[in-house]
Structure 1
């Protein structure tokens, strides 16, 4: 087996052009060095050095092998730095998931952008999906962390950290009777409307929160359509197929055929939760969780999520 020290021996002999001088440079005896070079030639099946009356010089094959050995030695020298950077959470790969509504949330978008800018050596892999699918991807090891909207019933092996709560607003067709309203409007004002819901198996948290809010307002919503994605929900609203309740950050889609109106009173909220595998000690995962928690703390202590500037989305 060729070891890194054998490559260093090879390069030293090539650079010195003399086995004895190379041995002195390496701090070993000349006979063992000669044996190591011969063993390396036998291992590779080629002659690496031409023996001269006063020294040696690399053969044509030897010159190629020496250059390759230098490259290996250089990359091995960088290994310690790579390992230290990985231990500090500055190197490696992090797979981050988020829901379709989360793609437009300024807090989530800013956290991912800031983490990427602070660690250019980290490869960020992003995935958008429903909460149920994101949780399964965490369990399967395809994701490291995920921003989700609801806590799964089965918490085995998972860590779910509440971060923030986002206001939800009414999404109405532009020609709806309440669309001109500056708001806020009571949720009960939509009791006679047909609703477009986010499909429950994909997003149980938002679906159940809207349903509970409607029941608390004194009515059971008539659901005319269900959509697999939040953006699809707004598309159906824009087509006049009903009204919906969506996270306030969805206003960033700027759909001219949809009017967004705030709700009066204690309306439904869309939680932002950070999910990860329980006990995951990977440095990148821990750094990401720490920074997201700290950002959420500052957001709650400051002006609040909805008063912050809106950065670019993840869409």
Structure 2
């Protein structure tokens, strides 16, 4: 009597007693991606699938096995003990099979997020060679906390944040220190220099309009506190949506502000802006590169991450 031909699940994974012989390799790949990513949403782009499709495939595999694979949580999923056992057995064979597949297969885009000004001035120029080499980027701008919350739900692979994320769920490394400068147009700089209280810069600036991107003046207040050792009492004359608008308004002569060096150094070099103050220790803000758990399964995420870390040495 001839031996029975092993099914896909048995021949590829060696777990025939636990998985049905007709288990689809695509379902197992989806299972492993969700297991590693921790959320259905995060696994979807890595697989090139929609989130509902990933959910449906996991449900199908659970029906085939007759066992629950993941416990649904408010944020993501937690593998069951059965899922841990299955993952331990299928990961090696599936990774080996993936290595034998067509090397020209499409890799999922890298979802990158951070402050809009930094993305435009520093990040995207650094990544141009990767784009030319076939890496696809999906770039989102925003504030740190909303972006990190979206990363926890699986929306972003990498986030550049101006503060380290709380907790240990998200891995982060210092990327670079951003220097902040007190600047104004040359006309306002001359008026400040000729002010009767020019020796007291804070007093001289009371008669100069302030431009900021938020009513609570976060950058300017921090500059005053760290450089002058004083609380800022002035109100903004002009409030605009972002730092690009602050730069535009100050460059046009609307008043003074505090801006990142990366954003205004070209204007300083050309004389369109003037540095109002050169403290011995200018205030710095550390940028952090945050990576979503499971994102390393996409090799292009690792290429983007490593390229940014190298480029940031010169920022």
Aligned twin of 1:169: 181
Aligned twin of 2:55: none
Aligned twin of 2:151: 138
The alignment status of 1:159 with 2:171, answered yes or no, reads yes
Secondary structure, aligned partner of 1:112 = helix
Unpaired segments of 5 or more residues in structure 1? 1-78, 202-206, 306-315
CA drift at 1:267? 1.4
Aligned twin of 1:288: 304
Q: Is the 8 A contact 1:166 1:270 kept in 2?
A: yes
Aligned twin of 1:100: 116
Mapped to 2, the partners of 1:139 and 1:130 lie a distance apart of 15
- Listed as ranges, the matches of 1:1-315 within 5 Å are 84=103, 91-106=107-122, 108-117=123-132, 119-120=133-134, 122-152=135-165, 154-155=166-167, 157-178=169-190, 188=202, 191-192=205-206, 193-199=208-214, 208=218, 210-216=220-226, 217-221=228-232, 222-224=234-236, 225-238=238-251, 240-251=253-264, 254=267, 259-261=273-275, 263-282=278-297, 283-296=299-312, 299=313, 304-305=314-315
TM-score (norm 2): 0.53
1:214-242 Cα distance to aligned partner (Å, 9 max, x none): 12313322231433311122233245443
Secondary structure, aligned partner of 1:101 = helix
Aligned twin of 1:24: none
TM-score (norm 1): 0.53
Which structure shows the bigger proportion of residues in strand conformation? 1
User: CA, structure 1 residues 289+241, in 2 after alignment: closer, same or farther (shift >3 Å)?
Assistant: same
CA drift at 1:266? 0.8
Aligned twin of 1:71: none
Aligned residues: 206
